[in-house]
Amino acid sequence: MKSPVRLLSALLGLVALGVIWEGLSRSGVMSPMVIPPLSAVPEAFLREWQSGIWLDKVLASLRHYLIGLLIGSVLGVLAGIVVASMPRVEAAQAGLVRVLRPIPPLAWIPFAIIWFGVTETAATFIIAIGIFWINYYTSLGAVQSVDKGLLELADAFGHTGTTRQMFKVSLPAASPGILGGLRAGIGQGWMTVVAAELFGIPGIGQRMMDASGLLATDVVVVYMLTISALYALTDTLFVLVRNRILGPVHTNFDGRVAAPKRARQGARREV
Amino acid sequence: MANIVEARDLALGYWRDKEPVAVLSGLDLYIKRGEFLTLVGPSGVGKSTLLRAIIGLSRPLSGTLDVNAHPNPGGRPSALVFQDPRLMPWRRVLGNVLFGLEALDLSRTERVRRAREALAKVGLADYEKRFPMQLSGGQRQRVGLARALAVQPDLLLMDEPFGALDAITRENLQDQLLDLWRNSGITVIFVTHDIEEAVYLSDRVMLLSGTPAAATSEHRIDLPRPRRRDEDTMTYIGEIKQSLADAFQGA
Ligand SMILES: Nc1ncnc2c1ncn2[C@@H]1O[C@H](COP(=O)(O)OP(=O)(O)OP(=O)(O)O)[C@@H](O)[C@H]1O
Ligand SMILES: [Mg+2]
């Protein structure tokens, strides 16, 4: 499908949802307590904004999110790469990981609270854990599945030694996979950020919990949409950075031809 | 040692369930410094296996294999043109040719100069900014060739390097290869399925066949150099084809 048509369809879907939503609550089919009318949301947002709460909570959540993202991504990618290059360690981690990995990040909340109290550190820890595993697994897999023929090529042309081959061959070859993991982590982070704050750690999640206690459903929706927007923003930024810096790498791994700038405008970009 | 490669009672192959499986065995091979040797034989007989062992990518199952290539300053002792071009998709053409040079102690300018020179030799001077994905099969193969030429090896191993090329480009590259070989005094071990190509290029054509394989016959090509694609060449081609057919029947 051509992209303008796609965009239009996507917009139409959103508009339709809005119309049905508004209709349901205006006609009295749904009480505002169950679902607030859509038209009440901008007003609620304005209230949150003017009182300064919105910015406050968003900044707090962003802080947990960004620090957790940084820690989880860096450690996950590093651990994945290091383990992939050491067969012994790789074998040793298999059992451990089988036990730890299925534990969802939210299951760490009790320990997070015991270790760090109801603090920002606890929220950051929980976010970091989820992001860590995603990045660990994708980097490990990406480095392990590097074409053995290319490592052989490196041997044949005098690039010997694990570290050297890592930088000359494995990392560039694995970078699309590693970047895919980073992107998945960016999404996963927003899913855990709210849950991590539901326990009273200041942030969007805490505000939503408070609002729902007061049956202020319009406020809850304001923050739901806020998360959507924040996710869209971070993901778009990441894709922009990825395409800018590593553009040629990706166009080639995807099997697409890196056409000159002018010709590329008409082409659909994967976002 | 006058021989650049010496193999005695050599067995090559791979390991399956900790058991060696021989692809080639009982191979005796003496390659003189400066020789142009071509290996021919049925598909799967072990030609690539032998080249891989000579360049040091695999160890013999048994027997001895001595390689005595001397690098000239700023060059590699040996280089291999892989059967599949084996290019790195994230590097441009120039970057792929630079790959081998990056392991040598050369200045950046010198590397680029030599990479460009090698690309010009294979007729790809205008393609250095492309990615492998944007090349034809034959062009990719020529990038692999340029990568090996750029490191100026003393021993050049070529695994069906001209397989994917049209007749004219191929003849052109054959003649260039012969020029390079004559002018530089390097040793070439060449693999091809094309008997005419084998005869036209080589001092000696060696036939591998059997399972596990060994050198079944050998033909010294006593044609004068520079070579011509003439009747004498055709005579040799006929002879080798006959002995290949015998080898196939014996297998
Ligand atoms: N790692 C491996 N595992 C199992 N079999 C292998 C392995 N490597 C090579 N072989 C086998 O060894 C034999 C020789 O392979 P090789 O690539 O040397 O053949 P070749 O003479 O170069 O053939 P072609 O002309 O088709 O390129 C083949 O039968 C192949 O299947
Ligand atoms: Mg082969």
CATH topology of domain A39-270: MetI-like fold (1.10.3720)
Please state which of the ranges A29-43, A44-58, A179-193, B27-41 shows the lowest mean pLDDT. A29-43
Is the pLDDT at A270 greater than 70, yes or no? no
Contacts of A150 in chain B (CB under 8 A): 86, 88
| A7-30 tens-digit pLDDT | 898 899 989 988 888 888 888 777
Peptide linkage before B226 cis (omega within 30 of 0): yes
Is the pLDDT at A265 greater than 70, yes or no? no
Same domain, B109 and B230: no
Shortest Cα distance, chain A CAs vs residue B197, angstroms: 26
- Asked if B15 is an interface residue toward chain A (Cβ–Cβ < 8 A), one would say no
Q: Is the CB of B76 under 6 A from ligand 1?
A: no
Same domain, B164 and B244: yes
Give the domain CATH number at B138.
3.40.50.300
Same domain, B123 and B205: no
**Which atom, in ligand 1's list, is nearest to the CA of B51?**
18
Peptide linkage before A172 cis (omega within 30 of 0): no
What is chain B's length?
A: 251
Q: Is there a domain that residue B53 lies in?
A: yes
Q: Is the CB of B54 under 6 A from ligand 1?
A: no
CB-based contacts of B32, cutoff 8 Å, min separation 6: B2, B3, B4, B187
Contacts of A252 in chain B (CB under 8 A): 89-90, 131-133
Query: How far is it, in rounded angstroms, from Cα B81 to Cα B96?
Result: 13
Using the beta-carbon criterion (under 8 Å), do A157 and B99 form an inter-chain contact?
yes
Shortest Cα distance, chain A CAs vs residue B90, angstroms: 5
Q: Is there a domain that residue B119 lies in?
A: yes
Q: Is there a domain that residue B26 lies in?
A: no
Same domain, B171 and B213: yes
Residue A248 — very low, low, confident or very high, per pLDDT cuts 50/70/90? low
Q: How many domains does chain B have?
A: 2
| A228-242 tens-digit pLDDT | 999 999 999 999 888
pLDDT cut 70: percent of chain B above it: 99
Shortest Cα distance, chain A CAs vs residue B180, angstroms: 20
Q: Is there a domain that residue B23 lies in?
A: no
Q: Is there a domain that residue B138 lies in?
A: yes
Shortest Cα distance, chain A CAs vs residue B168, angstroms: 28
Helices (H), B124-194: 137-150, 167-184
CA of B158 to the centre of ligand 2 (A): 10
Mean pLDDT of chain A: 86
Torsion of CA A126, A53, A224, A123, to 10 degrees: 0
CB-based contacts of A17, cutoff 8 Å, min separation 6: none
CB-based contacts of A164, cutoff 8 Å, min separation 6: A154
Same domain, B179 and B118: no
Contacts of A153 in chain B (CB under 8 A): 82, 86, 88, 99
For the whole model, what pTM was predicted?
0.84
Six token digits for residue B195: 């008997």
Q: Is there a domain that residue B22 lies in?
A: no
Same domain, B97 and B220: no
| B213-248 tens-digit pLDDT | 777 788 898 888 888 888 888 888 888 888 878 877
Question: What is the structure's pLDDT at A216?
Answer: 87
Q: Is the CB of B142 under 6 A from ligand 1?
A: no
Q: Is there a domain that residue B14 lies in?
A: no
- Domain end, chosen from B153, B175, B207, is at B153
CB-based contacts of A180, cutoff 8 Å, min separation 6: A138, A142
Is the pLDDT at A127 greater than 70, yes or no? yes
* DSSP structural state of residue B125: G
Nearest to A157 among B92, B103, B133 (CB): B103
- Domain end, chosen from B153, B180, B203, is at B153
- Report B:158-217 residues touching A (Cβ under 8 A): none
Same domain, B173 and B216: yes
Higher model confidence: residue B78 or residue A199? B78
Same domain, B81 and B166: no
Q: What is the 3-state secondary structure (H, E, C) of chain A?
A: CCHHHHHHHHHHHHHHHHHHHHHHHHCCCCCCCCCCCCCHHHHHHHHHHHCCHHHHHHHHHHHHHHHHHHHHHHHHHHHHHHHHCCHHHHHHHHHHHHHHCCCCHHHHHHHHHHHHCCCHHHHHHHHHHHHHHHHHHHHHHHHHCCCHHHHHHHHHCCCCCHHHHHHHHHHHHHHHHHHHHHHHHHHHHHHHHHHHHCCCCCCHHHHHHHHHHCCCHHHHHHHHHHHHHHHHHHHHHHHHHHHHHHHHHHHHHCCCCCCCHHHHCCCCCCC
- Identify the residue whose C-alpha is closest to ligand 1 atom 4: B14
Same domain, B78 and B149: yes
| A146-197 tens-digit pLDDT | 999 999 999 999 999 989 999 999 999 999 899 999 999 999 999 898 888 8
- Identify the residue whose C-alpha is closest to ligand 1 atom 1: B14
Q: In what order do the strands lie in the sheet with B3-16?
A: B19-32, B3-16, B62-67
Same domain, B210 and B250: yes
- Which residues are B29's β-sheet partners? B7
Nearest to A173 among B90, B92, B99 (CB): B90
Same domain, B182 and B221: yes
Residue A259 — very low, low, confident or very high, per pLDDT cuts 50/70/90? very low
User: Residue B221 in contact with residue B248, Cβ under 8 Å?
Assistant: no
Is the pLDDT at A1 greater than 70, yes or no? no
- Domain end, chosen from B153, B173, B194, is at B153
* Domain limits for position B226: 33-61+159-251
Same domain, B94 and B172: no
Six token digits for residue B101: 């040079």
User: Residue A76 in contact with residue A185, Cβ under 8 Å?
Assistant: yes
**Maximum CA pair distance of chain A?**
76
